[in-house]
Amino acid sequence: MPLSSPTERDHIHTRTVTCQGFRRKDGLWDIEGHITDVKTYAFSNDDRGEIPAGEPVHGMWIRVT
């Protein structure tokens, strides 16, 4: 079912989550996940300094066997 039409708004954040499953040669399975967060505006970060709009804020990976 499609979403209803939204009220006027500003896009500020995108989170992308990808999950993949792999069958290993040893008979086990690996499930890998990747999450990326991106802002539509530049902002200051205490550790990284200025982070430009569109540059990933987070790029995290996990593998579960």
Distance between CA atoms of 32 and 5, rounded to whole angstroms?
34
Residue 18: pLDDT band (50, 70, 90) is very high
Answer for the pair 31, 64: CB distance below 8 angstroms, yes or no.
yes
Whole-Å CA distances, 54 to 2, 31, 57:
27, 27, 9
pTM: 0.75
pLDDT of residue 19: 98
Distance between CA atoms of 64 and 33, rounded to whole angstroms?
9
The first and second tokens of residue 43, run together, are 């902002």
Tens-place pLDDT, residues 42-61: 999 999 999 999 999 989 99
